[in-house]
Amino acid sequence: MIAAMVTSTQPGADALARASAVLEGVADPELPFLTLEDMGILRGVRVAGDAIEVSITPTYSGCPAMDVIALDITTALAKAGFDNVRINRVLSPAWTTDWLSADARDKLRANGIAPPERPQGKRALFAETEVACPTCGSKSTERVSEFGSTPCKAHYRCLACREPFQYFKCI
């Protein structure tokens, strides 16, 4: 759930609840079957005077989707009657695939993308790991290319069912 910064007894609690409900439905532009909340990109929402202030964290430095994400948030809130919206980009702590919700991992798998797997006792980046095929579950897979449709995904192929798939890299 989104970090709410106003308690129910403070002025603006209704606005905060409405804004939070709107934000729960904003989709990731690169993976539209996931919400920003599923991804862990949405860090918080609060009422700041007459504005709704939303904090987001990019999945990696220089993520080209951040401008679209900010626009999608502003548009969704404007449609709900919030005209004064401020977007804060929070860079620290850096986003990690650990922030993906369990629901996000299930949705990735259901959409043919292997969710990130952190190798036991190893660093996330550049660690070799067995990647299970999201179609048949086999771990008999091979990396075809380090980079897929976005820098955070790699192309893999299942040697059991022969299906190509993407792997969401562990960061």
- The model's pTM is 0.79
The total number of structural domains that make up the chain: 2
pLDDT in tens, the chain (171 residues): 454 443 333 447 799 999 999 999 999 999 999 999 999 999 999 999 889 999 999 988 778 889 999 999 999 999 999 999 999 999 999 998 889 999 999 999 999 999 987 666 555 555 557 899 999 999 999 999 988 877 788 999 999 999 999 998 887
pLDDT in tens, 52-71: 999 999 988 778 889 999 99
Residue 8 and residue 15 in contact, taking contact as beta carbons nearer than 8 Å: no
* 125-129: long-range pairs with CB below 8 Å, 24+: 125/170, 125/171, 127/170, 129/170
Give domain status of residue 94, yes or no.
Answer: no
Does one domain contain both 120 and 157?
yes
pLDDT at 1: 46
Domain finish residue from 65, 89, 113:
89
Does one domain contain both 82 and 127?
no
Residue 95 DSSP symbol? P
Pairing of strands 164-168, 113-114: parallel
Give domain status of residue 6, yes or no.
Answer: no
Domain finish residue from 33, 56, 89:
89
Give domain status of residue 158, yes or no.
Answer: yes
Range of the domain at 107: 100-168
CATH code, domain carrying 22: 3.30.300.130
